Amino acid sequence: MIIPRVPVQHRRLLPDRRLSGPTPWVIAILMMLTLLAAGAGIGLARAANNIGDAIAGRVTVQIVTANPVTRAEQAAELRRRASAAPYVRGARQVGQDELLATLGQWLGSAGGDDPVLRSLPLPALVDIDFVGGERAGQLAQLRALVAQTAPGARVIPHAEWLGPVAQLIRSLAWVAAGMVLLMTLASAAVVIMTARAALGTHYATIEMLHLIGATDRQITRLFQRRIAIDTAYGIALGSVVAAAIMLLIGWQWSGVTSGLAATASLGPAGWALLLALPLLAIALAALTARLTLLAALKKIL
Amino acid sequence: MTDTPSGRAGGAMVEFDRVGLRYGPDAEILADISFNLQPGSFYFLTGASGAGKTSLLKMLYLAQRPSRGLVRLFGEDLVSMPRHRLPGFRRRIGVVFQDFRLIPHLSARDNIALPLRIAGVSEEDLSGPVGEMLSWIGLGDRANAFPPTLSGGEQQRVAIARAVIARPQLLVADEPTGNVDPEMAMRLLGLFEALNRLGTTVVVATHDIHLISRIDNAQMMRLEKGRLADPTGALRYPPANRV
């Protein structure tokens, strides 16, 4: 039971006012930051995994044969033979318009209709995705195939140039996880201070309850319930604000469809974890309060 | 050791054997306290201010463990008793504090009902005894008043009602009549006497010499500079238990 049941008559043993004025607000701020950090961490981790999955089994073959007709024939032949290979899941020749559009973004002609751009001798590109399995062997087989069909072509594994980006994103996800951990510890510290302050404030009542035969468990349940309710208010408030911020960011993110940014999302498991975090936080607060109170009460005869 | 109180006390409710108490590194404020309290007896504890009466009472109502010596209550050694067993013993002891120690945000009724609620008595079962107790102490019409709105005498009566509502086996009272008029003092003393007749052992710390003379068969314990004056040995070896 996260918030222990206490008979109504026993609840009156503590005055109605909140135990610790600013506690719910501090918890609300920490909860909001925790959820935002957790959301960012989950999104980044998923993006890193998506990128990792995408690049781990993909290579691009760059055919730079000078004769455009031969180059096109080599690309078509490579695509056809690669598609038939058992270690290849799919092969796709990158279209000329797609190449021009990509280059146009870099050379200041977004539409790719610049005559200068069209006059450039562009290589033919074939994207090849391997099936799952042992990459080094698959790569060696592909290189042999490329040597037969398009001598002089370059085989570029995507992992070589996108790997560091995925690693960076993964590192950022770990940083976010570290922030979640630190803020969880800070929240627990706030609860400990609140519990101790409550014991100090109500020491006379606690002493009286002890002297008429109240057990530590009875006294602890009273305070644990109150602290859990106080923190639950803060957690609910922080969660609502964090949800609003995440929805706003999600709405803005939905407009970003290109590049690596498009790979970031929370996914059902991520959302489930974010929804579970507030409940876990309330449980953690109640448990922390209980342990703190029991430890403090043991110092009183 | 052949003459220890514990060895000769028979069915004593409380046994103190060479008990000493000190706070921190200071000298003992109570030294070599030895006595036996017999079930159903009535005791007055007297002594000058600072003689150690309140400290002795604190050991009696289990708010303090002794620094040395042996304390047995209801036949069990309290010095080495684990903490978790103390609440069960405290529920058998009623305490009237000199400073009342009422819980200010609880009504008079709720303060009186507290020991019963802590003991797990249902609301249905406790309403009758609490109502009767309120009527008996003359506060039936102020049941819902909060302690800060009660006079000193009224607070004292509520404190006494709280101490006796659960029919304790041992009642410890520290200057219980200090804030009430003589008539109410006699009524309260009559309550203590009635409880004593029902078998409750009563220990009352007081300066009021007139009070002492009102109870037949009451025994007096006198503390002088932290030591119990027991010239005849009657407190250590009660006549009823002498071999």
Long-range contacts of A67-73 (CB under 8 A, 24+ apart): A68/A121, A71/A123, A71/A124, A72/A124
Between positions 108 and 137 of A, the ones with CB within 8 A of B are: none
In chain B, the residue whose alpha carbon lies closest to the alpha carbon of A10 is: B117
Cβ within 8 Å of A, B 139-158 = none
A21 vs chain B: nearest CA distance in angstroms? 19
pLDDT of residue B33: 92
AA identity, residue B51:
A
Lowest mean pLDDT among A24-28, A35-39, A110-114, B33-37: A110-114
Return residues 186-215 of A near B (CB < 8 Å): 204-205, 207-215
Q: Is residue B241 predicted with pLDDT exceeding 50?
A: no
> Which residues in chain A have Cβ-Cβ distances shorter than 8 Å to B119?
213
Predicted local confidence at residue B93, as pLDDT: 94
Split at pLDDT 50, 70, 90, the class of A253 is: confident
Q: Give the per-residue pLDDT at B6.
A: 40
- Kindly state the percentage of chain B with pLDDT values over 70: 91
Which contiguous run of DSSP H or E holds residue A164? helix A159-201
Question: What is the reported pLDDT for B112?
Answer: 95
pLDDT band of A162, cuts 50, 70, 90: confident
Size of interface A-B (CB pairs under 8 A): 57
Q: What is the three-class DSSP state of A92?
A: strand
**Residue-level pLDDT at B20:** 93
- The residue among A8 and B209 whose pLDDT is bigger is B209
Of these ranges, A163-172, A203-212, B234-243, the one predicted with the greatest mean pLDDT is A203-212
Q: What is the pLDDT of residue A262?
A: 58
| Alpha helices (H) along A202-215 | 203-211
Assess B209–A contact: CB distance below 8 Å, yes or no.
no
A16 contacts in chain B (CB < 8 Å) = 105
pTM given for the model:
0.71
- Residue A17 touches chain B, beta carbons under 8 Å: no
Per-residue pLDDT at A256: 66
Question: Do B185 and B177 touch, CB atoms closer than 8 A?
Answer: yes
Judged by a CB distance cut-off of 8 A, whether residue B84 touches chain A is yes
Confidence of residue B238 (pLDDT cuts 50, 70, 90): low
Best to test chain B binding among A202, A207, A212, A297 (most B CBs inside 10 Å)? A212
Average pLDDT score over chain B: 86
Q: Residues A169-181: pLDDT tens digits?
A: 888 889 999 999 9
Res. B7: pLDDT tops 60 = no
Query: What is the per-residue pLDDT for A214?
Result: 92
Residue A263: predicted pLDDT: 61
Secondary structure element (H or E) that encloses residue A187, with its range: helix A159-201
pLDDT of res. A270: 85
